[in-house]
A = this chain, B = another copy of it.
C-alpha cells in the first residue's frame, strides 16, 4: 500500500493520514486525530500508537501536532505573534521541562539552499543563555533556561553525518532535551510555509528536504528529541501526480475516461518521468518569495521556542536583561 503514494512525498503526518484515508476510505486503526480551529488557524493532533499504524502511515509512533495558518504567507505581525504564542504553549506542553533543564536547539539543513535553510536561520535567532547562567539576575533564574544552539551544516558541506556531529556534542554538553528544526516537504502547495509540525518522535532517517541519513532520536542520542518542522517545498513530482489524481477523482472529468480508476502505478510513474525527465528528485516547487517567507517563518519558529524556553523574558525589553 505504501507504493500507492510513492511519488507523493510528504513529511507531514497530517497529510500522510489524509492520503491514506482517501485510499482506504475508512479510519486507520491506531491513528487518532483531533482538530480544533478558530478564524486564523487549525490545530491538528495526530497520534500514531501501534506498529501497524506506523507501517501504514510511514511515520514513527508518537504525537504530531500541526498548526496551520494560511495567513503566515503574508507579512502580518499580530498573526505571527499569535502563532508564536501557540507554538510556545504546545512545545512547553509536549516536553514538560524542569526549570533548570539544559536544551540544545539544532538547526538542520543547508544554509546555501534557501528552502532548506529554515533550520540554520531559526537556530541563529534562538536566545542562547547557557554561557550566561551565572550572570543572570535572581528574578530571571527559573524563567530563563540554559539554552544552546547549533546549525551543523549538511553532509556535503562537512563530510560528517549530522547525527555524528550532534551525538558528539550531546555526549559532551549533556542536554536534557534536543529540539531539531528542519525544513519539510508537503504534498499540498497550500501548506507550504503556512504549517508548523511539532513531533515528539525526533527526526528519522530520510525525512526532510535534505539528506540526513542517520536519525536524531532518543534511541540514538539518549535524550528526548522534539522535531519542529515547516514545509517549505512540494516535490515537483507531487504536482504531476496530483494532476493525475485530480483528473481521476473528479466526476466532472469522468466523461473523458474509460477506466482511469485502474490506472496502474507503473503508468503513473511513466507519466511523471516523462514530464520531469532525468531530475525527478531535484526539482522543487516553492513560492516565488521563498527567501522572504523563510526569513519570516524562521522568526516565528525561533520566537516560539524562545518563549517556551524562557517564559520570564520581556521580549520588548530584551536588551535590559542581556546587556
Q: How far is the CA of A319 from the CA of B279 in the complex (A)?
A: 19
A243 touches B256 (CB 8 A): no
Residues on the B chain within 8 Å of A317, using CB: 77-78
A140 within 8 Å of B by Cβ? no
A114 at the B interface (CB under 8 A): yes
A132-147, CB under 8 A of B: which get 1 and which 0? 1000000000000011
By a CB distance below 8 angstroms, the chain B residues around A247 are 244, 247, 271
A128 in complex: contacting residue of B129, B147, B159, CB < 8 Å? B159
Apart from A114-B114, A150-B158, A243-B275, 11 more pairs, CB < 8 Å: A76-B319, A77-B317, A115-B288, A148-B160, A167-B172, A168-B172, A246-B275, A253-B267, A257-B258, A283-B288, A284-B287
> Majority SS of interface residues in chain A?
helix
9 shortest interchain CB distances as A-B pairs: A128-B159, A148-B159, A168-B172, A168-B168, A130-B159, A243-B243, A168-B169, A75-B319, A240-B243
B148 touches A150 (CB 8 A): no
